[in-house]
Structure 1
Amino acid sequence: MRTYLSCIPCFVRQTVEAIKMATKSKARQKEALRKVLLKLSTASFDRPPTEIGYAVHKIIKDITKNDDPYKKVKARDNQAAMKFYSYLKELIASSDDRLLVAAKLAIAGNIIDWAASPEFDVKDTIDEVITQPLTINHFAQFRNSLDEAETILYIADNAGEIVFDKVLLEELAHKKITFLVRSEPIINDATMEDAKFASINKLAKVETVKITAKGLNTTSNRFKHFVDEADMLISKGQANYEALSDMEGPIFFLLKVKCPLIADHIQAPLGAIVLKAGGEK
């Protein structure tokens, strides 16, 4: 995906939000905002939003001297999500199709996304998603791919959200799973620390991948190795969709549509829940 004009206000909102969490110094807040605005004024719209987002948040980190502005937010979201864990397990246990409900709950967790919006209601989203049909419904292909796959690469999205990923992973316990998180903090993306908090390491082999100036480093030998080793990929969230939507092969995108540009690209309305096979419409 490339960047659009409508992405710019979102980057500015993220900047104001992040600098307030990163430092109490008004001088550094203003300096960071000015430098981000300058960067945005020269950014190429031919580049993906994830690449520009990385540059924006690197400026914020460098000026505020805070490598993880969202650290407290992520800890809070992890704690809050864990309070729903028993409820999620009950919903799966009482369902007629455990895998379908687990997949939909994993999508519900995608509402915990500070890059898209700091305002979300997790409980309402859970209850809504349970009865909400998949707008893009490639669940049959998803189930078939799971039946045939022995190894799965699960590309995680956000802290808090990974508790919802956990209930899906538990339905795939008979598979060999690599769970991929970010190697360093960016916004509220999940890192190794978050994965261990949710005990993902007891269900899958947790590995890290770098976020670089080009966004998710899909061209690195490390990332290619994980892809080559997997029979099937599961990609969570909008940012990973932005980075991987052109990827060929057995990849499935699980996300809640929260951005008008994603809605246009994926051809689903805002608020839709999506389970999309790569290369399918």
Structure 2
Amino acid sequence: MKVYLDCIPCFIRQALQAVRFCTDNVDEQERILRKILEKVLSMSWDITPPEMAHIIHGTIRERFGEDPYKIVKKQSNDVALSLVDWMRDFIGENGLDGAVRLAIAGNIIDFAVVDEVIIGESVKKLVNIKPVVYEIESLESSLRDGGSILYFADNAGEVVFDKVFIEYVRLNYQVKKISFVVKGGPIINDATVQDVEYIGLNGLEDVEILEISNGDDGTGPDRNSDEVKKWIKSHDIVISKGQANYEGLNELSGIFFMLVVKCKLVADDVGTKVGDVVLYHSK
């Protein structure tokens, strides 16, 4: 999925949000924002939204040398961890359907799209929304066949929901291995190895952690690289969480996309509306 004109103001909003997390100095905020605007004007727009995000947020990290979202990511993880007992009870009552709905609902924790998320309230509302696209029969059939899973994670906090989903899958299906993919460095509130370790997901049996690039050198292969395509081909089931992964992987077939639709452009591409809950199997 390529950048649309409507993506540009959204990226500028993201940039301002990140800069404000780093400094209260309005003059400094303006300087960095002007630098980002110059880069946006000079770069090619014939790229994917995640690729543009890499450039914009890399500029902010280069200036401040820190993760602007470090605090909100920890807060998201802590709030999500406080909901684990409720999650497990919900899955106990609803099985795979409950596990999938929870995993998708966790995708609401997305600071690339919103400035604030009331996690508990939002999630408990979303799990009761009837999905518009919901290919759970196809997912269940694949899980019954067993094998290996490649799981592209999205955000901090959300990974707690992913962990509970993975726990359910490991207990109820013959899954040999789960490769859990996170960013190799910080960008927005995307999950990293540090988040995975904080919530204990790396301690699950038969789970390995893989890293893809956040746009900085040495942080892993790009999501659209040949290496990542080899990962996809070498696993029996591929699950992709969230909008950014959808934007980067939607042209590939055989992927289960699980997300809350938060953008009209993505909604138009999937054939849904903003706010819809989706489990879509690309053909």
Letter in 2 for 1:34: R
The 8 Å contact of residues 23 and 66 in structure 1, kept in 2 or not, is answered as no
Letter in 1 for 2:85: S
1:45 alignment partner in structure 2: 45
Distance 1:108 1:128, change over 3 A: same
Tell me how large the CA RMSD over aligned residues is.
1.9
Aligned partners of 2:9 and 2:191: how far apart in 1? 24
Counting only pairs closer than 5 Å after superposition, residues 60-139 of structure 1 correspond to structure 2 as: 60-63=60-63, 65-95=64-94, 98-139=95-136
Aligned partners of 2:43 and 2:270: how far apart in 1? 24
**SS of 2:185 mapped into structure 1:** coil
Q: Under a length normalisation based on structure 1, what TM-score does the superposition of the two structures give?
A: 0.92
Alpha-carbon deviation of 1:49? 1.0
Q: Deviations over 1:38-90 (max 9, x none)?
A: 12223433211111111110111112x23311111101111111111111111
The 8 Å contact of residues 154 and 182 in structure 2, kept in 1 or not, is answered as yes
**SS of 2:68 mapped into structure 1:** coil
Is 1:207 the counterpart of 2:210? The answer is yes
Alpha-carbon deviation of 1:130? 2.7
Aligned partners of 1:195 and 1:62: how far apart in 2? 24
Q: Deviations over 1:215-259 (max 9, x none)?
A: 9713445423422321110000000000000012x3100000011
Aligned partners of 1:178 and 1:199: how far apart in 2? 15
Aligned partners of 1:107 and 1:138: how far apart in 2? 13
Q: Deviations over 1:1-41 (max 9, x none)?
A: 11112111111111111011123444432221001111222
- Identify the match of residue 146 of structure 1 among 143, 147, 152: 143
Counting only pairs closer than 5 Å after superposition, residues 150-229 of structure 1 correspond to structure 2 as: 150-173=147-170, 174-175=174-175, 176-203=177-204, 204-212=207-215, 217-229=222-234
Distance 1:256 1:216, change over 3 A: farther
The percent identity for this pair of structures is 38
- Identify the match of residue 273 of structure 1 among 270, 277, 282: 277
Letter in 2 for 1:124: E
Structure 2 residue ranges without an equivalent (≥5): none
**SS of 1:108 mapped into structure 2:** helix
**SS of 1:276 mapped into structure 2:** strand
Distance 1:252 1:222, change over 3 A: same
Alpha-carbon deviation of 1:263? 0.8
The 8 Å contact of residues 148 and 235 in structure 2, kept in 1 or not, is answered as yes
Aligned partners of 1:240 and 1:202: how far apart in 2? 24
Distance 1:34 1:216, change over 3 A: farther
Q: Give the number of equivalent residue pairs.
A: 275
Q: Deviations over 1:141-181 (max 9, x none)?
A: 11111112310001100000000111110111142101011
Aligned partners of 1:60 and 1:160: how far apart in 2? 23
Aligned partners of 1:192 and 1:45: how far apart in 2? 30
Aligned partners of 2:128 and 2:69: how far apart in 1? 32
Alpha-carbon deviation of 1:205? 1.1
Is 1:240 the counterpart of 2:249? The answer is no
**SS of 1:211 mapped into structure 2:** coil
Structure 1 residue ranges without an equivalent (≥5): none
**SS of 1:212 mapped into structure 2:** coil
Choose 215-224 or 40-49, whichever is displaced more.
Answer: 215-224
Choose 118-127 or 29-38, whichever is displaced more.
Answer: 118-127
